[in-house]
Structure 1
Amino acid sequence: MGRLLPGVPRGRRVSVTAQVRVLGIRHHGPGSARALLRALTEFEPDTVLIEGPADADPLVALAASGQMRPPVALLGYASTDPSTAAFWPLATFSPEWQALQWAILHDADVRFCDLPAASSLAADRTAGDQGPDPLAALAAAGGYDDFEQWWDAVVESGTRYPDNTAELANDHHADSFDAITEAMAALRETMEIDEHTLRREAHMRQVLRARIKAGAQKIAVVCGAMHAPALSGKLGPAAPDARLLKGLPKVKTSLTWVPWTHSRLSSASGYGAGITSPGWYHHLFTHHDRTIERWFTRVARELRGEDLPVSSAHVIEATRLAHTLAVLRERPLPGLAEVTEATRSVLCDGDDVLLDLVTRRLVVGEALGGVPDETPTVPLDADLQARSKTLRLKRSAVDKNLDLDLRKDNDLQRSRLLHRLALLGIDWARAATSAVHSTGTFRESWTLRWEPELPIAVVEASRWGTTVESAAHAIVLDRVRRPESSLGEVTDTLEKALLADLRTAIPDVLAAVDAAAALDHDVLHLMSALPALIRTLRYGDVRGTDLSSLGDVTDAMLARICAGLPAAATGLDSDAADALRAAVDDVHIAIAVRDDPATTQRWLGTLRVIADRDDVDGILTGRTVRLLRDMGRIDEGETALRVSRALSVGSDPGAKARWIDGFAGGGAVLLMHDRGLLRLIDDWVSALPAQDFVDVLPVLRRTFGAFAAAERRTLGAVVRGGERTRSTAPSVDTERGARAIRATALILGVPA
């Protein structure tokens, strides 16, 4: 189209012809990408404008780096509030990425033309509101319920084999962009375009005018198909667009490239477009011939990796079935729907679990991109990358299990880094259950998975410091110094600071724990905080941190608990008593772990006081009797007497049930070995009137339902058979046992 270059002095204006070709594409469409490359090669533009934030132009040069490996994304975030951010992702098969690479390869001027991120991030729009989707409307008009199937059949399949379907491909790249623009223009007449979209298109036109004014001769505009009608034909005067863009709010914004993953391409982003099958689309774009056969070969290889019997015959039959389905449905070539059905029927034998595995690993995929080392980043991210490289922690888009032995220096350093990242809210790793069975405190297990959104978390955490250690130190001190921080929050922070080995922060955190404990008069709060402190003392042995002052804080806290617990246990309703019982269990376990005779003596004395009181909820007295029995502080006779007294006539059935819940809850070992106690409980339950039994049944079901299945079976057998179950047990062969002992002693080299 002809344009007059403005800005030339009066009397010297010349008529310059600037050819503009608007190429409306589908974001992340391999068919669009392939057709776009042919159109660019045919048109040979000197300027390429690509839909994307205009203030990201300084980052274009990084796309030429050999270290840039899609999928990647442009990340824009508000410098003062990194949580306000947006992504513009690009994959190998994205038309925008291919346009970028074509322009770099052919030395064309390439720029982004969409509304700058500084304006987009400041726009008052609802999160996730991406405006209308006209292509979905076209799919519905074409008789497709699923937009992915429509696009795959109409566009992707039609450009899949450029060698075998040359005529179809040529027709597509020559005419389809104009046809899509015409279809979008007709569709837009029936739609109400939102104001944000109108402003974006106004900015695109302004950029186009600027490039024409700068002297560009042949301009290719690569944008979403929906915007193509707004950029085609005569641009018209600039004044209306300038008015529309005038006064737009802006925020100070930083932009960079970040790695992305295929799975995240299925989410709406800065483009407002997502796909459900990025792995499939990558395959379509990178394999130009025998696409279906190659795909089923990949599926077979994946299933064989799971030790499944998949042969070459399966691949051949699946290929035939996919092509047959395409013929029956009058489609030019098999699409994802036909491939999926053939995979389920032939390669997975109708098993949807196996099909889900194929979908996750291949149809979606978890490819993680990479960016050059010189990509702009915050100092904290640079330190994190350096530390990760030193400790050989590689970022991956799939779960990676990591078992650490804290006795090894490298593993200890890894543990410190991961705990520091957890404090900063950078959830690269999460605690996991180890496959290595060990009760020692020197082992840790993690599951690592790098999510594309984590760069935002890194940027947000950078306000605390320029290195991971300094940032973690700062955030720990901030947490414990907040006036509203509770004792539980402070002790939890202390435990995390110890695991992260923030030694310089420990004295301040200990002082905060001492101060919080002195100000908190709630016994339940003190009991909730004590286990974390004792765990901290235990970890100090492994990590070498001086925690001598923590022992004094713990002893003082326990003294306050023991003094206030008997009074705090009285006059409680059921919910409060249940909460206190759980706290008693936690403190009891923690004290057992500490294994200090003086501490244990003080605690058991307090439990004895509660067990002897009549004004305490039965769930607490029953629990204290059980704990004292387990610790050997009361014998079998006294235990039986207390159980008999708790179940005596005259007590409320509900109160009796709660006493039994406290006494027996948590494990059936005592009842399995002490048949007298089991008989007392069985006799009481058997003698309950019908209505009383109905009333106490929920509590009893909660108590006995928590036992392990094997424990319940054993108790049931004892109750059904009485003492006769003992006669069914095999007799002990002492002679065989003696031979086994002598053989073991011989192996160990000790006297028998």
Structure 2
Amino acid sequence: MTGVDRPPGGAVGPGPLLLGVRHHGPGSARAVRAALEAARPRVVLIEGPPEADALIPLAADEEMRPPVALLAHAVDEPGRSAFWPLAEFSPEWVAIRWALEHGVPARFIDLPATHTLAWEKEEPTPTPDQGESESPEAEGERNASPRDGSGEPEVADRPGASGPTPSGAGEPSGPPQASEDTVRIDPLAVLAEAAGYDDPERWWEDVVEHRGVGRGDALAPFAALGEAMAALREEYGTGGHDRDLVREAYMRLQVRAAQREFEHDVAVVCGAWHVPALRQRTTVAADRALLKGLPKVKTDMTWVPWTYRRLARAGGYGAGIDSPGWYGHLFSAPDRPVERWLTKVARLLREEDRIVSSAHVIEAVRLAGTLAALRGRPLPGLSETTDAVRAVMCEGSDVPLALVHDRLVVGDVLGEVPASAPAVPLQRDLARLQKRLRLKPEPSERELELDLRKETDTERSRLLHRLRLLGVGWGEPMASRGSTGTFRETWRLRWEPELAVRVAEAGVWGTTVLAAATAKAETDAVAAQALADVTALAERCLLAELPDALPVVMRVLADRAALDADVGHLAQALPALVRSLRYGDVRGTDTEALAGVAAGLAERVFVGLPPACAALDAEAAEEMRRHVDAVHGAVGLLGEGTAAAHGDMRARWRAVLRVLSGRDTVPGVIRGRTVRLLLDDGELAQDEAARLMGLVLSPGTAPADAAAWIEGFVGGGSGGGMLLVHDERLLGLVDAWLTGVPAEAFTDVLPLLRRTFSAYEPGVRRTLGELVRRGPGARGSAVVTGAGVPGFASDLDAGRADAVMPVLRLLLGLDEPDGSEVDDLVGVAR
């Protein structure tokens, strides 16, 4: 033990071995291991929550693979939680493993989580006019990841970081000073600046990471760093944050207790910033006075997997580091780290089909060494290797370099926790399902294609939908490529460590995923405010297959639908119900009750829609037009069984559309849309559609109303452009009307027309422009031919049909067709 370290109480005799470290520093981790080997203490005290002492033996489990984190959450409010992450290169993790390997007790001595979580609850979050503002995402990250990590600060335990404090809390009082603010954020930045470095990371690499640790000088780095921190604290104090004083008082009490039990063979591993405070001569009474009256909350703790990405500062963790992947490499490859690193980079780039040879690696190693020599560094660091990779392997491009940074410098390593670790029952059930369904949580984003005709894929879909209903966003549904059938689902999966908190929080609903999702759905149905929310919940219950929750949801849905007289609400709710009916076929779900509610809802929409469309302003008319589109799509999806039980629903809907298309009190955008829907369904002849357009575009109609009708008929990017391309009579009507709009009215209708035609594909716009440029006299295709369809010839063009035959055979999967198949394909071409 060193003579400078005295007992915190000021007793005479040697003090504890204080090992001040940088959290998540591989150099500190190697130095801690060497110091412990040299000193051989009888107990190791580590900065961290004491409630986790019972979890320390799990660190020796073969299934435990860092990065991992200690998770503490309030029992009555699981969403209030905090993480204490540890990587394999974290000094605290190395100290734990050394103690377990040598049969030495290891204990955590920081302020208990029971106080930390309660203290966070009492401390108000600053409003935008009081401090920096936060987005909801940032707030969630702040609540999930303490700025201090186990008191694990950004570097050397910066002042002002003391547990999961809200962003902006604990600002130093008095006039701000640049130097004090720097220390509050990063104490090592001041030391780096004093040494003539403009980058603290580079300074730390030079003085610690690139420094060999021998047995003879194992304690020298800690003595030097402790003296430096003592000078900083003498100058700047606590940086204006009182919580550090409380934490350090508690740590001094724990060190005293360990000294009484183990005499002076005590080693303490803590943030270097705390070392001067632990050497400070104080009384027991003074330390206990600082701890008196601290708030408490009942907490649970466990180990959870963590990721390198969450260790990075970019991930939002306040005590993070810039390059966890690089630090992990330095810790695992102490010999020839540059050569091994550049070999990893070359392997990654080759996997991405870039040409990188062994000569590139050799040249990059030489360039990195040359750059280090020119910059006066003992060994190449991350900046030198990055510059070498950019110049030699990436040919000066930052695009592949960004891939190297994302995959290697930061990394996507996900830790593992043994099954014996404490967990809420819901977490255990989820782990069982993940193992049975072969859905391993992964930190990298990946797509999962599911075929619901397969039993395993169906169960995977149910699990992901149930977790989404519980607020555990492991998977996000995506549009399936190449198929629109309901039997196929595509998910984007990515496991984040914070999801462990969401699982713990969802544990209040049940002990299994099925039971929890059922209880959550029933509660959400009763609490839903809008009818559309209940119908969306019914759809989610069908997707998640919650048969016990569906009756409750359906009862609430029927009650809300009977009381809601707003046609807009009914029209907004109907599509979700109809979509839900489609899932019954592929999932084998009984949707009879849902079909009855959907039919009743549709009947009420049919009756109430015409009067609801009268006397609407432009904004309300546009919203109602969207409702009409939604109802039209929903009615089209209704099955034949529903139509047989409740009459011909589609026919009645078409009758409603005809009523809307002929009423002058209905806004033009709705009338135009109804005419278009009838035309697309074949219920309205093209001649009739042209006649209606001609009436609307006559001089007796106000230009604004006519422009709205055009938007409803051919607007919204719904294929209206192609309709005008192939039916030049309609295009001629629009062209003639537009050229006849008075100048004083043209500026009023121009924005509406611009919005209508800007939604078309560029090719469609070019074709329309060419047709308009030719003029009515040059539009030969507009002549009605023997086929009776404007723009089409009277007979098949055999030459053009033969040109597409090979493609048709390829698409239909046919072999060399005989003459009959050719005739069939010609019929298809017609």
TM-score, L = length of structure 2: 0.84
Local SS of the residue matching 1:591: helix
Q: Once the 2 structures are TM-superposed, how far is the Cα of residue 396 of structure 1 from its aligned partner?
A: 0.9
Are 2:662 and 1:609 equivalent residues in the alignment? Answer: no
Q: Is the 8 A contact 1:527 1:583 kept in 2?
A: yes
Letter paired with 1:457 = R
Q: Is the 8 A contact 1:278 1:364 kept in 2?
A: yes
- Structure 2 counterparts to residues 94-113 of structure 1, below 5 A: 94-113=90-109
Counterpart among 773, 798, 813 of residue 734 in structure 1: 798
Relative to structure 1, the CA distance from residue 342 to residue 729 in structure 2 (aligned partners, 3 Å threshold; closer, same or farther) is farther
Relative to structure 1, the CA distance from residue 745 to residue 533 in structure 2 (aligned partners, 3 Å threshold; closer, same or farther) is farther
Match of 2:450 in 1: 404
Q: Once the 2 structures are TM-superposed, how far is the Cα of residue 543 of structure 1 from its aligned partner?
A: 1.2
Match of 2:257 in 1: 210
Counterpart among 198, 204, 208 of residue 151 in structure 1: 204
Local SS of the residue matching 1:521: coil
Are 2:45 and 1:49 equivalent residues in the alignment? Answer: yes
Q: Is the 8 A contact 2:371 2:384 kept in 1?
A: yes
Match of 2:607 in 1: 563
Match of 1:72 in 2: 68
Counterpart among 576, 582, 585 of residue 538 in structure 1: 582
Match of 2:538 in 1: 494
Are 2:694 and 1:644 equivalent residues in the alignment? Answer: yes
Letter paired with 1:204 = M
Structure-2 separation of matches of 1:614 and 1:215? 94
Match of 1:336 in 2: 382
Q: Once the 2 structures are TM-superposed, how far is the Cα of residue 152 of structure 1 from its aligned partner?
A: 2.3
Match of 2:813 in 1: none
Match of 1:670 in 2: 723
Are 2:362 and 1:316 equivalent residues in the alignment? Answer: yes
Q: Once the 2 structures are TM-superposed, how far is the Cα of residue 629 of structure 1 from its aligned partner?
A: 1.3
Per-residue CA distance 1:713-746 (angstroms, 9 max, x = gap): 2222222234747689999652684796996345
Structure-2 separation of matches of 1:746 and 1:213? 100
Local SS of the residue matching 2:211: helix
Total equivalences in the alignment: 733
Letter paired with 1:706 = A
Q: Once the 2 structures are TM-superposed, how far is the Cα of residue 493 of structure 1 from its aligned partner?
A: 0.5
Match of 2:131 in 1: none
Q: Is the 8 A contact 1:87 1:270 kept in 2?
A: no
Local SS of the residue matching 1:52: coil
Q: Is the 8 A contact 2:670 2:709 kept in 1?
A: yes
Q: Once the 2 structures are TM-superposed, how far is the Cα of residue 433 of structure 1 from its aligned partner?
A: 3.1
Are 2:512 and 1:459 equivalent residues in the alignment? Answer: no
Match of 2:766 in 1: 713
Letter paired with 1:397 = P
Match of 2:33 in 1: 37
Match of 1:699 in 2: 752
Match of 1:252 in 2: 298
Letter paired with 1:611 = S
Structure-2 separation of matches of 1:467 and 1:529? 30
Match of 1:88 in 2: 84
Per-residue CA distance 1:279-324 (angstroms, 9 max, x = gap): 0000011001111111111011000001111111211121122112
Per-residue CA distance 1:135-190 (angstroms, 9 max, x = gap): 2333344444443233223322334xx6xxx6xx965x432211111111111123
Q: Once the 2 structures are TM-superposed, how far is the Cα of residue 412 of structure 1 from its aligned partner?
A: 0.9
Query: Structure 2: 5+ residue runs without aligned partners?
Result: 126-141, 149-159, 161-183, 782-790, 810-815, 826-830
Are 2:675 and 1:625 equivalent residues in the alignment? Answer: yes
Are 2:467 and 1:394 equivalent residues in the alignment? Answer: no
Q: Which piece of structure 1 moves more, 685-694 or 571-580?
A: 685-694
Letter paired with 2:626 = A
Relative to structure 1, the CA distance from residue 376 to residue 627 in structure 2 (aligned partners, 3 Å threshold; closer, same or farther) is same
Q: Once the 2 structures are TM-superposed, how far is the Cα of residue 434 of structure 1 from its aligned partner?
A: 2.9
Q: Once the 2 structures are TM-superposed, how far is the Cα of residue 243 of structure 1 from its aligned partner?
A: 0.3
Match of 2:285 in 1: 239
Structure-2 separation of matches of 1:747 and 1:92? 71
Q: Once the 2 structures are TM-superposed, how far is the Cα of residue 20 of structure 1 from its aligned partner?
A: 1.1
Per-residue CA distance 1:536-559 (angstroms, 9 max, x = gap): 111111111111122221121111
Relative to structure 1, the CA distance from residue 738 to residue 655 in structure 2 (aligned partners, 3 Å threshold; closer, same or farther) is closer
Structure-1 separation of matches of 2:448 and 2:820? 36
Structure-1 separation of matches of 2:43 and 2:735? 88
TM-score, L = length of structure 1: 0.93
Per-residue CA distance 1:580-599 (angstroms, 9 max, x = gap): 11111111111112254611
Q: Once the 2 structures are TM-superposed, how far is the Cα of residue 511 of structure 1 from its aligned partner?
A: 1.5
Structure-2 separation of matches of 1:236 and 1:266? 37
Structure-2 separation of matches of 1:72 and 1:700? 58
Match of 2:327 in 1: 281
Letter paired with 1:618 = G
Per-residue CA distance 1:496-534 (angstroms, 9 max, x = gap): 000111112222221211111001111000000000111
- Structure 2 counterparts to residues 84-233 of structure 1, below 5 A: 84-123=80-119, 124-125=122-123, 126=125, 127=142, 131=160, 132=184, 133-159=186-212, 173-193=218-238, 194-232=241-279
Relative to structure 1, the CA distance from residue 89 to residue 75 in structure 2 (aligned partners, 3 Å threshold; closer, same or farther) is same
Letter paired with 1:657 = A
Local SS of the residue matching 1:403: strand
Structure-2 separation of matches of 1:192 and 1:684? 80
Query: Structure 1: 5+ residue runs without aligned partners?
Result: 7-14
Are 2:419 and 1:423 equivalent residues in the alignment? Answer: no
Are 2:407 and 1:361 equivalent residues in the alignment? Answer: yes
Q: Is the 8 A contact 2:8 2:278 kept in 1?
A: no
Q: Once the 2 structures are TM-superposed, how far is the Cα of residue 694 of structure 1 from its aligned partner?
A: 3.1
Q: Which piece of structure 1 moves more, 223-232 or 490-499?
A: 223-232
Local SS of the residue matching 1:48: strand
Relative to structure 1, the CA distance from residue 687 to residue 154 in structure 2 (aligned partners, 3 Å threshold; closer, same or farther) is farther
Per-residue CA distance 1:433-457 (angstroms, 9 max, x = gap): 334x122111111122111111100
Relative to structure 1, the CA distance from residue 29 to residue 735 in structure 2 (aligned partners, 3 Å threshold; closer, same or farther) is closer
Structure-2 separation of matches of 1:268 and 1:445? 28
Letter paired with 2:273 = M
Letter paired with 2:32 = L
Q: Is the 8 A contact 1:406 1:444 kept in 2?
A: yes
Local SS of the residue matching 1:83: coil
Local SS of the residue matching 1:556: helix
Q: Once the 2 structures are TM-superposed, how far is the Cα of residue 53 of structure 1 from its aligned partner?
A: 0.7
Cα RMSD of the aligned pairs, angstroms, is 2.6
Local SS of the residue matching 2:724: helix
Local SS of the residue matching 2:370: helix
Local SS of the residue matching 1:446: strand
Letter paired with 1:285 = F
Q: Once the 2 structures are TM-superposed, how far is the Cα of residue 417 of structure 1 from its aligned partner?
A: 1.0
Letter paired with 1:478 = T
- Structure 2 counterparts to residues 505-584 of structure 1, below 5 A: 505-584=549-628
Local SS of the residue matching 1:114: coil
Q: Is the 8 A contact 2:66 2:305 kept in 1?
A: yes
Structure-2 separation of matches of 1:237 and 1:381? 45
Letter paired with 1:373 = A
Q: Once the 2 structures are TM-superposed, how far is the Cα of residue 36 of structure 1 from its aligned partner?
A: 1.5
Letter paired with 2:250 = H
Structure-1 separation of matches of 2:724 and 2:297? 68
Local SS of the residue matching 2:79: strand
Are 2:650 and 1:600 equivalent residues in the alignment? Answer: yes
- Percent identity of equivalent pairs: 51
Local SS of the residue matching 1:309: coil
Per-residue CA distance 1:628-685 (angstroms, 9 max, x = gap): 1112222122211211222222433322222111110122222121110011112222
Are 2:344 and 1:298 equivalent residues in the alignment? Answer: yes
Match of 1:12 in 2: none
Are 2:685 and 1:635 equivalent residues in the alignment? Answer: yes
Q: Is the 8 A contact 1:397 1:449 kept in 2?
A: yes
Structure-2 separation of matches of 1:593 and 1:522? 23
Counterpart among 480, 490, 499 of residue 434 in structure 1: 480
Counterpart among 721, 736, 740 of residue 687 in structure 1: 740
Match of 1:485 in 2: 529
Structure-2 separation of matches of 1:738 and 1:498? 48
Relative to structure 1, the CA distance from residue 271 to residue 209 in structure 2 (aligned partners, 3 Å threshold; closer, same or farther) is farther
